Amino acid sequence: MRIERYLQDSAARDGARTAIVSGEVRLDYARFLDLATRMATTLRMRGVGRGDRVLVLLDNGWQTAVAVFATWIAGAVICPVNPATRSARLAQIARDCTPVLVFVESRLERLLDETSELAATPRIVTGGSFEAAIDTAPLAAEPLPDTDLAALIYTSGSTGEPKGVMLAHDNVDAAARAITAYLENTAADTILVVLPMSFGYGLNQLVTAARCGATLIIEKSFAFPQAIFERIRDERVTGFPLVPAMAAMMMQARDLDASLFASLRYVTSAAAPMPLAHLDWLRAFLPQAKLYSMYGQTECTRASWLPPGEIDARRGSVGIAIPGGRAEVVDEAGETVAPGTMGELVISGPHVMRGYWQNEAATRRALRPDPRTGILRLHTGDLFTADADGYLTFVSRMDDIIKSRGEKVAPKAVEDVLCRMPGVAEALVVGIAHEVLGQAVKAVIVASDPALTERDVLRFCARHLEDHMVPKQVEFREFLPKTDSGKASRRLAAEPATTTGQKTGSPA
């Protein structure tokens, strides 16, 4: 199914139901569809056609929701880009996807003007031409196949130039069907999105809400947590997707009132591994809410989910393959390894991407045939173990493994211990060059207790970790560097603190 059908079907079922709440703007499904259809007409009148790429450079807001569905109704492909993106990266993306039109925040017009690849590209601007564009009389939409591309979502590019992940409508549909099934989403749900809708996890909230006819509460960011918590109470939010950094902020909040969250039916965690200490805190603080630990990549949206009832029995696991998908742990030859053996996670199923836009070499590296069946599988680059029942446990990114005096150290194993330590709010572990060891373990810590010292950290680690896993260096910072999608960045944390806007030294 094409994704714009989600909106059309939900509007037909109950057009008066609230679809979008964004600031003071409230759109029911009938109005949401009307605005998206009018905008799609404007796009077609401006020459946007089937398969054309449309850059979406917008903050979270109702305009983003309209722009995304309008692009799909017009038969074009969305290329969502975080508004915080710098000009050099924006230019790379523009050169790669060659957009025919840009949706842009008014404050970012100057950025387009200064980017030669986009200076002459037609644009629709919030606060001006955007509002004018939705005054157009709507035209009937033409039926199109669900094998057409729906989105080009650019990866972070931490190891090189950003790559455009090609997701067709049927890929997005397969993921949305699976996710809404295990989350048991219905039209009665009210889902909050504070995650950037320019990334898969945030965008997926818009897609799944539209599929079930649920209400989506759109917030620009998590910069002011108390206001978000009050919004959860006031709108009676039932679904709260978050990332570890958000959980850490909740844990450190003073006198946090649990009654603000009484309406929550479920909380999801994805985008980055959640420390066990954070999971335990969330379960204790929100006992009425089901907690779903999940794993996914942009290339497949979602790969696994842990049924909430299995959290204790499968401690630390991110679950089993999503409905309709397959997840296996394999060796270097692509053969399935024995239960409990570490290997690379590979994913197959209808939710897996078509490949990388105009990058056949990267596509061949990521999508490789199963040696037994020939079916293409996504090689995630992540190390996992699986138990006899297929429950998966994340170990590390293959590139993140620290090799110290002949031993392999998974950063997450050290981070889980650090996050259990009183006085530690957040922690990242990286490998640094060492003349004798090859690599040494370094811990980068955000302390909640200003009296915490490096000696305290090392003593705690020595009690709970094997010798080769104990950090050789500890650095305290005011906050961990994050990617645009809100994930803590190991690459940035490994750089000198002065280059990432952090403070160095012990807080003691």
**CATH number of the domain that residue 344 is part of:** 2.30.38.10
Q: What is the pLDDT of residue 232?
A: 98
Q: Are residues 356 and 463 in the same domain?
A: no
Q: Cα 495 vs. chain centroid, distance in angstroms?
A: 23
What is the per-residue pLDDT for 503? 39
pLDDT at 263 over 60: yes
> What is the reported pLDDT for 487?
78
Number of domains in the chain: 3
Considering the domain boundaries, does residue 251 fall inside one?
A: no
Residues 412 and 340 in one domain: no
Check which CATH number belongs to the domain holding 491 and give it. Answer: 3.30.300.30
For residue 182, tell me if it sits in a domain. Answer: no
The reply to whether 42 and 152 lie within a common domain is: yes
The whole-number pLDDT of residue 497 equals 66
Instruction: Identify the burial level of 371 via C-beta atoms within 10 angstroms of its C-beta, where 0-12 means exposed, 13-18 middle and 19 or more buried.
Output: exposed
My answer on whether 342 and 488 are in the same domain is: no
More confident residue, 244 or 338: 338
pLDDT at 489 (0 to 100): 82
Spatial separation of the C-alpha atoms in residues 73 and 45, rounded to whole Å: 13
Q: Is residue 302's pLDDT more than 60?
A: yes
Task: Indicate whether 254 belongs to any domain.
Answer: no
Grouping H, G, I as helix, E, B as strand and the rest as coil, residue 128 is coil
Surface-to-core class of residue 466, CB atoms within 10 Å of its CB (0-12 exposed, 13-18 middle, 19+ buried): exposed
Q: How confident is the model at residue 343 (pLDDT cuts 50, 70, 90)?
A: very high
Coil vs helix vs strand at 498: helix
Instruction: Provide mean pLDDT across the span 133-142.
Output: 79
Same domain, 138 and 274: no
Which tokens sit at 163? 């790559």
Tell me, yes or no, whether 39 lies in a domain: yes
| pLDDT at position 160 | 61
Confidence of residue 194 (pLDDT cuts 50, 70, 90): very high
pLDDT category, 506, cuts 50, 70, 90? very low
SS3 429: strand
Average pLDDT of the segment spanning 64-70? 98
Q: Are residues 292 and 340 in the same domain?
A: yes
Higher pLDDT, 194 or 253: 194
Average pLDDT on 163-168 reads 98
Instruction: Give residue 481's pLDDT band: very low, low, confident or very high (50, 70, 90).
Output: confident
Report the alpha-carbon angle 472-273-177, nearest 5: 165
- Last residue of some domain: 131, 148, 168? 168
Report pLDDT digits (tens) over 482-499. Answer: 877 677 888 788 777 654
Distance from C-alpha of 17 to C-alpha of 187, rounded to nearest angstrom: 9
Instruction: Quote the pLDDT of residue 505.
Output: 42
350 and 320 part of one domain: yes
Name the residue range of residue 442's domain: 401-499
Q: Is the dihedral of CA 238, 243, 247, 252 positive or negative?
A: negative
> What is the pLDDT averaged over residues 472-479?
92
Structure confidence at residue 468 (pLDDT): 87
Asked if residue 23 and residue 64 are part of one domain, the reply reads yes
Q: What percent of the chain has pLDDT over 90?
A: 78
Q: Are residues 378 and 278 in the same domain?
A: yes
Residue 339 has pLDDT above 80, yes or no: yes
Same domain, yes or no: 353 and 420: no
Question: Is 209 contained in some domain?
Answer: no
217 is a domain residue: no
**Residue 229 located in a structural domain:** no
Q: 149, 168, 187 — which closes off a domain?
A: 168
Residue 103's pLDDT is 98
Q: Is residue 419 part of a domain?
A: yes
pLDDT in tens, 364-375: 999 999 999 999
Of 338, 366, 397, the last residue of a domain is 397
Whether residue 456 has pLDDT greater than 90: yes
Q: Domain holding 33: CATH number?
A: 3.40.50.12780
Residues 313 and 412 placed together within one structural domain of the fold: no
CA-nearest of 270, 273, 258 to 182 is: 270
Identify whether residues 382 and 405 lie together within a single domain.
no
Average pLDDT over residues 273-283: 90
Tell me: pLDDT of 128 over 80.
Answer: no
Percent of the chain residues past pLDDT 70, beyond the cut: 96
**Each residue of 400-450: pLDDT tens digit?**
889 887 788 888 889 989 999 999 999 999 988 887 788 889 999 999 999
Q: What is the pLDDT of residue 399?
A: 84
Banded pLDDT at 507 (limits 50, 70, 90): very low
